């Protein structure tokens, strides 16, 4: 019998496995110094210095409907917003701390507005919540691996009460799960060293989550991190193992499977430049064709892509980000059938690109022009028809004299009047839909 935790996980993640493409949004006080979301930690910045940004945070051009429209235009199906990052600043009107957006010049519940805007566009909604908090007085300071004051002996931990911190942290999760309607994702971040699993009273926390919102899906970082996945890879995952794994800034070489070899739901969370939070000097943008191929690679390995956008201090998604996302969306307008609801094809990666699959449809994603016919390996007498996915035009199977020695394969040309396949109809990714008689 299938493990009950795995069985329930499969039911909860069905929509997630079909959606395939989401928007990560990192936004908070750190957008003002514009040196990334870890600026307090990396610069060992005292809390009193960081408060300057709290007093400046106006979010005066925050228009979440524009964010939501952009995500939808990009072909994204869900979004995850940083309700609270490690600095402890809360974008919602929490009753448990005064370090929140409603006490800044913004004077707005930014989480509420985000949820309303993205739901209005028909997108699934998630919230990122940091289980660590550099501002809370009961969270370890000196000696902690990450805290801004980790090297400062003046910030010793003698009078800190970690159980009091956990009560606060659990209470904030309860607020988010009871004050804003049904959420689709809770994205916890993150565990490290001994700060993992039951250190967070993770069983108690997950029991609360499942009681309040049984269909909510949760990532694996109550016990895992970007460095390890935790027991979600075991045959008997813990109650707090999570519903999906979330490798960071990389795509797993062969997807993710548990110790029995069974697929595990996963999403790769990746930045559009080199930072999560807004960084004004980082113009190292991934081009649209790279993003498209990252998305295809994830899907070809049964995974999702959660692509980050870091709004600036005023609340605007950078124009460069928007232009890339819009270009990806145009490609998905023509080729989305090869992404949504698709997964691994069970066929080795070809030299010219990748395969995705859905039912009796195989999708050949062609990145590189080839001399001679393009080869669909070991599919002779299994193909009903070939079509260019973008416009539905017919592609003919070819049986040239120089191919007779390879009867087990099927070959085709994208340009039947040429001996090669240059140029490709879409140099970013030309997709050929292969309708199969039967799949083996």
pLDDT at 439: 57
User: Which pLDDT band holds residue 422 (cuts at 50, 70, 90)?
Assistant: confident
**In the prediction, which pLDDT does 227 show?**
87
Determine the Cα–Cα distance for residues 368 and 266; give it in Å rounded to an integer: 28
Q: Which of 31-35, 95-99, 376-380 has the lowest mean pLDDT?
A: 376-380
Own/partner pairs for 94-100, CB < 8 Å, 24+ apart? 94/172, 94/175, 95/175, 96/168, 96/171, 96/172, 96/175, 97/135, 97/136, 97/168, 99/54, 99/135
Instruction: Provide the pLDDT for residue 4.
Output: 83
Verdict on whether the full-model pTM lies above 0.75: yes
**In this structure, are residues 141 and 45 in contact, taking their beta carbons and an 8 Å threshold?**
no
Of 77, 85, 69, nearest to 27 by C-alpha is: 85
Structure confidence at residue 2 (pLDDT): 53
pLDDT at 401: 84
Q: What was the pLDDT predicted at 403?
A: 87
Task: Provide the mean pLDDT of the chain.
Answer: 96
Q: Tokens 């260019």, residue? A: 388
Q: Where in the chain is the domain with CATH 2.60.40.1180?
A: 353-436
Residue 42 · residue 89 · CB < 8 Å: no
| pLDDT mean over 122-133 | 98
Which tens digit of pLDDT belongs to each residue from 196-212? 999 999 999 999 999 99
The predicted pLDDT at position 398 comes to: 87
Tabulate helix, strand, coil % of the chain (nearest 5): 30, 20, 50
pLDDT at 418 over 90: no
pLDDT at 169 over 70: yes
Portions of the chain given CATH number 3.20.20.80: 4-338
Q: Note the pLDDT tens digit of each residue in 41-54.
A: 999 999 999 999 99
Question: Across residues 283-301, what is the average pLDDT?
Answer: 98
Neighbours of 306 (CB within 10 A): 25
CATH number of 353-436: 2.60.40.1180
Is 4-338 CATH 3.20.20.80? yes
Alpha-carbon span 168 to 438, nearest angstrom: 56
* Residue 175 pLDDT greater than 60, yes or no: yes
Q: Does position 156 have pLDDT exceeding 90, yes or no?
A: yes
φ, ψ (nearest 5 deg) of residue 130? -80, 125
What are the distances in angstroms from CA 120 to CA 68, 69, 92, 109, 111? 8, 10, 19, 17, 14
Which uninterrupted H or E stretch holds 388? strand 383-388
Determine what percent of the chain is predicted with pLDDT higher than 90.
92
**Would you place residue 1 in the very low, low, confident or very high pLDDT band (cuts 50, 70, 90)?**
very low
- Structure token pair of residue 261: 């070899």
Q: What is the pLDDT of residues 214-262, one digit of tens each?
A: 999 999 999 998 889 999 999 999 999 999 999 999 999 999 999 999 9
**What distance, in Å, lies between the first and last C-alpha atoms of the chain?**
27
Please give the pLDDT value at position 402. Answer: 86
The first and second tokens of residue 273, run together, are: 């430049």
Contact between 62 and 108 (Cβ < 8 Å): yes
pLDDT band at 26 (very low <50, low <70, confident <90, very high): very high
Beta-strand runs (E) in 162-274 = 185-189, 217-218, 267-271
**How many CB atoms neighbour CB 417 within 10 A?**
5
- Are the C-beta atoms of residues 436 and 383 closer than 8 Å to each other? yes
Q: How far apart are CA 165 and CA 138, in angstroms?
A: 5
Q: Count other Cβ atoms within 10 Å, centred on residue 432.
A: 22
Q: For the segment 373-414, what is each residue's pLDDT rounded down to a tens digit? A: 899 999 998 999 999 999 999 999 988 888 889 999 999 999
């Amino acid at each position: 019998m299938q493990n009950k935790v795995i069985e329930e996980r499969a039911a909860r993640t069905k929509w997630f496995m079909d959606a395939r493409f989401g928007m990560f949004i990192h936004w908070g006080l750190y957008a003002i110094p514009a040196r990334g979301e870890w600026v307090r930690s990396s610069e060992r910045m005292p809390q009193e210095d960081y408060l300057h940004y709290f007093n400046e945070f106006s979010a005066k051009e925050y228009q979440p409907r524009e964010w939501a429209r952009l995500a939808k235009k990009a072909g994204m199906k869900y979004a995850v917003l940083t309700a609270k990052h490690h600095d402890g600043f809360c974008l919602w009107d929490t009753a448990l701390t005064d370090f929140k957006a409603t006490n800044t010049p913004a004077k707005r519940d930014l989480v509420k507005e985000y949820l309303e805007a993205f739901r209005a566009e028909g997108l699934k909604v998630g919230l990122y919540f940091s289980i660590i908090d550099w501002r809370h007085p009961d969270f370890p300071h000196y000696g902690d691996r990450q805290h801004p004051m980790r090297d400062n002996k003046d910030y010793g931990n003698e009078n800190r009460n970690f159980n009091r911190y956990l009560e606060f942290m659990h209470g904030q999760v309860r607020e988010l799960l009871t004050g804003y309607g049904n959420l689709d994702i809770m994205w916890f971040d993150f565990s490290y060293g001994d700060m993992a699993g039951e250190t967070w009273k993770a069983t108690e926390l997950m029991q609360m989550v499942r009681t309040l919102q049984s269909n909510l899906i949760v990532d694996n970082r109550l016990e895992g991190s970007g460095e390890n996945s935790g027991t979600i890879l075991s045959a008997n995952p813990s109650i707090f193992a999570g519903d999906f794994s979330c490798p960071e800034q990389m795509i797993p070489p062969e997807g993710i499977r548990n110790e029995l070899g069974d697929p595990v739901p996963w999403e790769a969370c990746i930045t559009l430049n080199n930072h999560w939070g807004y960084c004004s000097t980082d113009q190292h943008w991934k081009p649209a064709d790279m993003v498209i191929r990252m998305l295809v690679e994830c899907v070809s390995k049964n995974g999702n892509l959660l692509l980050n956008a870091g709004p600036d201090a005023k609340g605007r998604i950078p124009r460069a980000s928007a232009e890339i996302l819009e270009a990806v969306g145009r490609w998905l307008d023509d080729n989305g059938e090869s992404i949504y609801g698709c997964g691994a094809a069970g066929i080795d990666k070809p030299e010219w690109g990748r395969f995705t699959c859905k039912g009796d449809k195989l999708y050949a994603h062609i990145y590189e022009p080839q001399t001679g016919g393009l080869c669909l390996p070991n599919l002779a007498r299994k193909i009903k028809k070939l079509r260019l996915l973008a416009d539905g035009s017919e592609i003919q199977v070819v049986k040239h004299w120089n191919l007779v020695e390879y009867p087990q394969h099927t070959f085709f040309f994208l340009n039947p009047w040429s001996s090669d396949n240059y140029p490709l109809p879409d140099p970013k990714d030309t997709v050929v839909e292969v309708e199969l008689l039967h799949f083996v």
